[in-house]
Amino acid sequence: MAESARSEIMARLRANSRPETAEQIGQELAALGFASPAAPPAADHCISFMANVLANRGTVALAADRAEAVRVVGRYLYNRFRTHKLVAGNDPRIAAMPWRDAGVLPRFGTAENGDSAALSYARLGVAETGAIVTWTGRANPGRNNLLPEDHLVLVNREDVVATLEDAWQRIRRDLPAGSWPRGINFIAGPSSTADVEAQLIMGAHGPRRWHVILVGDTPAQALEEATGLSRAGG
């Protein structure tokens, strides 16, 4: 049945397709180019990124380096849950961080139902939409984005790209042929729903809170500026 459906459908499509070679089709497509990105809220794309994360109802913290990032995560966990419990994927970048300094002892592996917080090290940040990008694998199992109450995400300043097209260029560069992961996830906010009388409510099925920590040398005024922009734009 399935095979006959396939040949039936393909035959109908052939009758409607233009008789062109793959090469001609490729040239036509290349000539179409790509779309333009959205107008950024600020000239500096790290400021745009933070402003958009805030507009997406995330929260943002700055950390000059990984040692400070550890302290930022520790403070966040203590303020939210009065614990230092954390789950993180087997990401060598997370494993190499000085967790003991902040009294945080991450459990490395897969998030389970009931975990309060998970930490991901994003592959990319996208300034255009305030999204972070992760992909599935040992370093960040798919569940870690979805099951915890709070999702904490580290992203390096130098990994923040301007546009969604730039993001795909980086994804292709960083993922050599044959190593394509089963899932590539753009995340832009805590899980939300507006299905009850169109009221926006956080924590529909996934994390209730989404906390992005920008790692690198970012002046505190940059975050203030981003906060102002997100209020003006929201």
Partner 1 sequence: MKHTSGEFMQHAEAALADPGKVQRRDLLGLFMPLARDAAAERYGDFGALRAHLKRVRTHTMENLEHYLTRFEEAALRNGNQVHFAATAEQLNNTVLSICQAHGARRVAKGKSMVTEETALNEQLLKSGLEVIETDLGEYIIQQAGETPSHIVGPALHKSLPEIRQLFLDRHKLGERTLEQAEDIVAEARSILREQFLQADVGIIGANALIAENGSTMLVTNEGNGDLCANLPPVLIVCTTLERILPRAEDAMALQRLLVRSATGQAQTCYTSFYSGPQREDDVDGPLATHIILLDNKRTDILASDYSEILDCIRCGACLNHCPIYVGVGGHAYGWVYPGPMGSVLTPLLSSLEQSNALPNACTSCGRCAEVCPANIPLPDLLRDLRQEENRRQLDSPRWRRGMRLHAWFLRHPALYRRLGGWTMSFLALLGRRRGGFRRLPFAAGWTGTRDFPAPEGGTFMQQYRSRVKGRKHRG
Taking the complex as a whole, the smallest distance from the CB of residue 223 to partner 1 amounts, in Å, to 19
> Is the torsion defined by CA of 201, 130, 155, 60 positive or negative?
negative
Q: Is 192 in the site for partner 1 (CB under 8 A)?
A: yes
Contacting residue, 138, 158, 219, 224, with partner 1 by CB under 8 A:
138
State how far the Cα of 9 lies from the Cα of 11, in Å rounded to an integer: 5
Where in 117-136 is the site for partner 1 (CB under 8 A)? 126, 128-131, 136
Strands 160-161 and 192-193: unpaired
State whether residue 154 is helix, strand or coil. Answer: strand
User: Considering the rule CB under 8 A, would residue 43 count as an interface residue with partner 1?
Assistant: no
Q: Tell me the backbone φ, ψ of residue 132, rounded to 5 degrees.
A: -115, 155
How far CA 211 is from CA of 54, 105, 119, 155, 184, in Å, comes to: 10, 19, 9, 11, 19
Tell me which of 29, 43, 96, 220 binds partner 1, using CB under 8 A.
29
Min dist CB 2 to partner 1, Å, is 5
* Minimum distance, C-beta of residue 122 to partner 1, in the bound complex (Å): 14
- Decide: is 15 part of the binding site for partner 1 (CB under 8 A): yes
Binding mask 89-118 for partner 1 (x = CB under 8 A): --------------------xx--x-----
